[in-house]
Amino acid sequence: MKNYEIDNLDKKILAHLLQEARTPYAKIAENVGVSAGTIHVRIEKMRQAGVIKGTKVKIEPKALGYDVCCFVGVYLKSAKDYHPVKEQLIEIPEVIEAYYTTGQYSVLIKVIAPDIDHFQDILINKLQSIEQVRSTETLISLQNPIYRDIDGLLV
């Protein structure tokens, strides 16, 4: 289902799912004024088209003791080093997001840790020890005042 076009009903369905992925189809149907069968068909079409990639539970890292959030700009020795570095970053569980970028950094990663000492260990012994990494630059997040999914764009 390439080129699946999202309409207003799909946007409403997605907005409900983003609020609570476990919302029963019948409840969504009631809220948007269609049948539960229509909701089921629409959701399946969006899954097949790759619009919906699954459902996830949102976990608050701080509630699990991950109090430090940092963004690390990674400078690679060469552009050809991206793929081997990406594979090594995947193996570091504290790296929770990574972006291959243009501009200053080759890769921008988001790292969480329980405390600054743990982050320092990750930085020195896991990130900076990757052979293809020339250097890093760290930004420590003090707050996360805006955190949202794409739902704001669905209106």
pLDDT band at 2 (very low <50, low <70, confident <90, very high): low
pLDDT tens digit sequence for 122-141: 999 999 999 999 999 999 99
pLDDT at 58: 84
Q: What is the 3-state secondary structure of 19-73?
A: HCCCCCHHHHHHHHCCCHHHHHHHHHHHHHCCCCCCCCCCCCHHHHCCCEEEEEE
Mean pLDDT, all residues of the chain: 93
| Same domain for 89 and 32 | no
Give this prediction's pTM: 0.82
| Same domain for 69 and 35 | no
| pLDDT of 73 higher than 80 | yes
How far is the C-alpha of 96 from the C-alpha of 75, rounded, in Å?
18
* 3 found inside a domain: no
Structural domain containing residue 20:
8-48
| Same domain for 73 and 128 | yes
Residue in the structure block whose two tokens are 């076009």: 5
Q: How many domains does the chain have?
A: 2
Mean pLDDT in residue range 84-94: 98
Mean pLDDT in residue range 73-92: 97
pLDDT band at 155 (very low <50, low <70, confident <90, very high): low
| Same domain for 34 and 77 | no
Cβ-proximal residues to 61 (8 Å cutoff; 6+ apart), any chain: 69, 112
* 65 found inside a domain: yes
Contact 134, 80 (CB under 8 A): no
